[in-house]
Amino acid sequence: MSYRPIVTGSKLAERNDSTGLYQVVVKLKDGGECRLFYSPLGTKINRLQTTPCPVCRRDYYCSCMDNFVEEISGQVDLEELKAAQPASK
């Protein structure tokens, strides 16, 4: 049985158009929260330690979510988030 993350909400948390770095806080259906780090080199993910990891059940740092970065980021529309929140100057 494999974990199936379902994104229920996403919010642009950090934005830097000049460096191409963006952070998006993602809420998951199971109650977990993750932070996606977008950069020109690729996308990384960190689980926020608000709830135990849905995969290994630890409540401290683990790297389980690394296996789901594509599945989670695939449910987040970064362009739409950027459009909804104009850059602050």
Burial group, residue 75, by CB count within 10 angstroms (0-12, 13-18, 19+): middle
Cα separation, 50 vs 2, in Å, equals 22
Specify the residue for token string 């599945």: 71
Residues forming a β-bridge with 2: none
The smaller minimum CB distance to Zn ion, of residues 56 and 84, is found at 56
CB of 20 to Zn ion, least distance (A): 29
Residues 56-85 that bind Zn ion (CB under 5 A): 56, 62, 64
CB of 64 to Zn ion, least distance (A): 3
Instruction: Tell which one of 12, 21, 25, 55 touches Zn ion (CB under 5 A).
Output: 55
In the complex, the residues that contact Zn ion under the rule CB under 5 A are 53, 55-56, 62, 64
